[in-house]
Amino acid sequence: MLKGKHIILGITGSIAAYKAAYIIRGLVKKGAEVQVVITPSGKEFITPITLSALSSNPVISDFFSNRDGTWHSHVDLGLWADAMLVAPATASTIGKMANGIADNMLVTTYLSCKAPVFVAPAMDLDMFAHPTTQQNLERLRSFGNQIIEPATGELASHLVGKGRMEEPDKIIAVLEDFFERGTLLKGRKVLITAGPTYEKIDPVRFIGNYSSGKMGFALAEACAVSGAEVALVTGPVSLQIHHPNIRRVDVESAAEMHQACQEIFPTVDAAILCAAVADYRLDNPAKEKIKREKSGDLLLHLIPNPDIAASLGKVKKDNQVLVGFALETNDEFQHAAEKMERKNLDFIVLNSLRDTGAGFRCNTNKVSILMKNGERTDYPLKSKQEVADDIVKQLGSILNARI
């Protein structure tokens, strides 16, 4: 999977910089071409001579060559790359990347890079746990960068905790997995719904729910990274998409989401319905703001919304795959299985609000996948990106088995 791939390896000033030598050796052995970009403090930890000997390429650190004044083009480098890996990534470089502080060749290259970026942090446990570092990492994640979590163990300070850069073979496996995934949904079209729906009460109020869109957006990114062309129909959320192969369709109400899905579904190979769609709406939203009465209750008359999943399940063709979610609070597996049956889904992803860190708003989720044939896989608590990867793997294996 790495054969012929162009990898930029960014090295920063950490004791873990020696591991970069093993990363280069591993990547080159697997047929990748590696171009090292090192920060000035990175050179205090490992010499460019070692790195250039291992990569068979000159190591870039400065904007200009001191010898002949040639300009090192971070733009060309950014366009050349199939992936950029920053390993080890110090708290300082992570902060610069997250905030666009382009005062060295590594960060300018990062800002010019169109390829996927992987970041392997390495630092002391308290630095890693600090809210600033965590916020910066979260910001990088929100840009679509993949963070390769550090391991727990003895650190340079001799303290024991989370902050050790992941081992070179594991980092290389992440890159291999990424390039392998790029073929999983190649040439496929996928419809994804995300976020909440808002059902108008009057011009200033609505009925909504707690969905942030994070799970659906992670699915859209994961499908796109796996080679699919994605149509993402989303309710009102404050998230952004990153991958160029995602077309975003913004809607507000369940009726609008239903209409968009009905139009798009006949053109796709698969749909993943992750949106938290309101099951009811007002039959007659007020044209003007409803005024508070001096006494008495306000009664709203609600009528059912269309069930988008069930309506797509009715028109689903044999070569299409329909995936739903079930958000439950009790009798989870029974309710999920009933929904899968009723909506004619190929599989359903169950998440329960009884599990800490699962469901709405958080960055993690804990899911079980239930298949039509009764098979069931329970996953541990993971980031929503990782959960999305698991779902995409399942989808890819069904689609590819049908060829």
Binding mask 235-264 toward ligand PMT (x if CB under 6 A, else -) reads: -------------------x----------
CA-CA distance, 81 to 69, in Å (whole number)? Answer: 24
Q: Does the footprint of ligand PMT cover residue 305 (CB under 6 A)?
A: yes
Query: Which distant-in-sequence residues (6+ apart) come within 8 Å of 334 by Cβ?
Result: none
Closer to ligand PMT by CB, 169 or 378: give it.
378
Q: Which stretch binds ligand PMT (CB under 6 A): 113-121, 122-130, 268-276, 390-398?
A: 268-276
Q: Which of 113, 275, 322, 395 binds ligand PMT (CB under 6 A)?
A: 275
Provide the token pair at 294.
Answer: 């001096």
Q: Does the footprint of ligand PMT cover residue 276 (CB under 6 A)?
A: yes
What spatial distance separates the first Cα and last Cα of the chain, rounded to whole Å? 22
Q: Does the footprint of ligand PMT cover residue 17 (CB under 6 A)?
A: no
Nearest to 59 by CA among 38, 41, 80: 38
Residue 281, strand partner residues:
303
Closer to ligand PMT by CB, 141 or 214: give it.
214
Q: Which helix (H) or strand (E) holds 181?
A: helix 168-181
Minimum Å distance from CB 122 to ligand PMT? Answer: 30
CA-CA distance, 27 to 36, in Å (whole number)? Answer: 12
Strands 347-352 and 321-328: parallel
From 57, 104, 209, 373, active-site residue: 209
Q: Which stretch binds ligand PMT (CB under 6 A): 58-66, 163-171, 245-253, 270-278?
A: 270-278
Q: Does the footprint of ligand PMT cover residue 198 (CB under 6 A)?
A: no
How many residues bind ligand PMT (CB under 6 A)? The answer is 28
Q: Does the footprint of ligand PMT cover residue 273 (CB under 6 A)?
A: yes
Site for ligand PMT in 341-380 (CB under 6 A): 351, 359-361
Q: Does the footprint of ligand PMT cover residue 165 (CB under 6 A)?
A: no
Q: Does the footprint of ligand PMT cover residue 77 (CB under 6 A)?
A: no
Q: Which of 145, 212, 234, 364 binds ligand PMT (CB under 6 A)?
A: 212
Provide the token pair at 185.
Answer: 């949904």
Binding mask 377-396 toward ligand PMT (x if CB under 6 A, else -) reads: --------------------
Residue 321 phi, psi dihedral angles, 5° rounding: -115, 130
CA-CA distance, 82 to 186, in Å (whole number)? Answer: 17
CA-CA distance, 386 to 392, in Å (whole number)? Answer: 10
Is 209 one of the catalytic residues? Answer: yes
Query: Which distant-in-sequence residues (6+ apart) come within 8 Å of 282 by Cβ?
Result: 199, 200, 201, 207, 300, 301, 302, 303
Closer to ligand PMT by CB, 212 or 394: give it.
212
Q: Does the footprint of ligand PMT cover residue 316 (CB under 6 A)?
A: no
Nearest to 149 by CA among 158, 159, 161, 157: 161
Query: Which distant-in-sequence residues (6+ apart) come within 8 Å of 297 by Cβ?
Result: none
Give catalytic residue positions.
209
Where on the chain is the footprint of ligand PMT (CB under 6 A)?
193, 195, 211-216, 254, 273-277, 279, 305, 307-309, 324-327, 339, 351, 359-361
